[in-house]
């Protein structure tokens, strides 16, 4: 009930836990960046770092959505 909700908020605030939800918009942003990069570079030349930078996301976020470059091609 209410006390539990407050405890969860306080607990996550104290531990720094921040629940991130995957969104279709973020996936689309990453796919768009990958498509733009693959249009100008060969597959083996494009790096996950480059895709993340172009999508303006961290590399961790990129790997959370796509486990490898093949999934983006």
- State pLDDT tens for residues 15-56: 555 667 999 999 999 999 999 999 999 999 999 999 999 999
Q: Is the pTM of this model over 0.75?
A: no
Enter the DSSP assignment of 67: S
Q: Are 52 and 61 in contact (CB under 8 A)?
A: yes
Whether residue 36 contacts residue 54, with contact meaning beta carbons closer than 8 Å, is answered with yes
- Residues 45 and 32: their CA atoms lie apart, in Å, by 17
Count each helix (H run) and each strand (E run) in the chain, helices first.
4, 0
Q: What does the pLDDT look like over 4-17, one tens digit per residue?
A: 455 445 555 555 55
């Amino acid at each position: 009930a209410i006390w539990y909700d407050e405890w969860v908020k306080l607990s996550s605030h104290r531990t720094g836990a921040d629940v991130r939800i995957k969104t279709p918009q973020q996936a689309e942003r990453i796919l768009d960046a990958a498509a733009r990069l693959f249009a100008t570079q060969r597959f083996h030349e494009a790096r996950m770092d480059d895709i993340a930078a172009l999508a303006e996301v961290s590399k961790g976020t990129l790997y959370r959505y796509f486990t490898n470059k093949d999934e983006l091609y």
